[in-house]
Structure 1
Amino acid sequence: MKNLFKIVLIVLVVSCKAQTVPLNTYYHNVSSGAYFKDTLGELDKFDGTWVYSNSNISLTIILKKKIHVYDGEYYEDIIVGEYRLIQNNQEIVNTLPTNLLDWDNIDERNIGGRRFITSEEVVPCVSCDPNEKRLMLYFSDPQRKYLTSTILLLRYIQPTLGEPEKIIAKIVSTHGVIIPDENSPTEPRVPLGEYLMIKQ
C-alpha cells in the first residue's frame, strides 16, 4: 500500500510538471489543463502604470500581471489592464476600476493577453532588433465592443542609467469590422497610433 501511494504521488508530480509550458507555446501542442507559465518573467517589466502626455492628450494605462488564471480549459500567466484618456482637458474614456478587487474579474478587463510576437509579425517593427519581442494584447472599448480587431502592441525600451522605464504602445486595427449600423464609429475612442509611455 505504501509503495502504491509513492507511485501515485510520483505520477502526479511528473504529470503536473509536464503540464507547465512556456507562454508562447501553441494551444494545439498541449493538453487541456496545461499551465502557460511566464517562466522567464517576461511579463513582469510591463506590470505598472504607464503615462503618455502631450499638449492635448493624456493617456494612462495600468497593467497588472496575473498568475495561474484559469480560462475554462487552461491556466495561464497574463497581463490585464485598463486605461483613461483625457483629450483637450475632457475625459473621453475611463475604464480604470475604482476598487482594486475589480482586477480579479479577468473577463471584464479591457486590455489583456500574453502572446509575444517578433518584429516581423502583425505590424512589422522596422526599428526593432531582429530578436526583439513585443507583447501583443487585445484592446477593447467598452462602448464599441464590436471593434474586436483592435490590438495593443507593447515594446519595452530598456532604460539607460538614470532614465525612467518606457514602453512604446501601438494601438492598431488589424482587420475590417462589421459595424452595427452605418452611423457606428469604426475606431476606438483612444486614437489609433503610437504612444511613448513613461512608467510612473
Structure 2
Amino acid sequence: MASIHQVILDGRLSQLNLLINRIGCNVNEKDSYSRTPLHLAVLSDQENYGYRVARLLLQGNADINVTDSQQRTPLVYACLLNRSKLVTLLLTVSTIQHPIGPSFISTITTKQKLYYNNIGIRLDCSAIGNPSPVLTWFRMNGNDDQSWIHVQSSEFINLYDNGSLFIRPFREYFKTIHAGIFICRAENPAGSIQTIPIQVKPRKNKNKII
C-alpha cells in the first residue's frame, strides 16, 4: 500500500480517509524532509484540497507542533503562504489542544548590517505562536555578552507594533544608540526564542538627512 505521504500527493482523499479511519496509519509519520502529512496538506498548490486533507488528518489526531528539517511547523508554512483557511483551522485546533511556542516568520538573517546615518536602519522581527508571542528588542551592554539592555522607543529609536525596530536618521553620533549588537526575543507561556545577534554599524553620509 502507498505511504500516506504519496496518497496525499496523488490527491486520493478516499484512500486517505481509509488509511486514517480504518487502518489507523501513523498520521505523524515523517518523510525525508522530516515533513508530516500535515505539512504536505499546507504546502499543497491547491488550498481547498489542502484544507480538506488537513481536516482529515486533524480528525486522526495529527500533531500540529511537529517541525520539519527547516524547523517549521505546518502553521508557520500556512502563514508564510497566506493560506488563511488553513491558518484559521490550525489556530482553532491549537487553542483547543495546548499553547504553541513562538516561531519566527521574519527576522534578520545576517550577523552584520551597515547603514548610512542620513537614512537610518530598520530591523524586522515577527513571530507566531499561541498565544501570540510578545516581541522584545535587546542591546548588548558594552562587551559583556551576558548582559543585555531592554530597548525602548525614544527620540532616536522607534519600536513598531509589528515587531520592527527603526534607528532614526541622525547627525550627532551616540555609540550606545546608533551602533552595537541587537537581538529580538519572542516569548509566550509555551516558550521563548531569540534571533542571532545582529551587529549594526553606521556610516557617515555627507548628504542631507532624509
Choose between structure 1 and 2: higher helix proportion.
2
Instruction: State the TM-score, normalizing by the size of structure 2.
Output: 0.22
Instruction: State the TM-score, normalizing by the size of structure 1.
Output: 0.23
Bigger Rg, which one: 2
Greater relative CO (CA pairs within 8 A, separation 6+) = 2
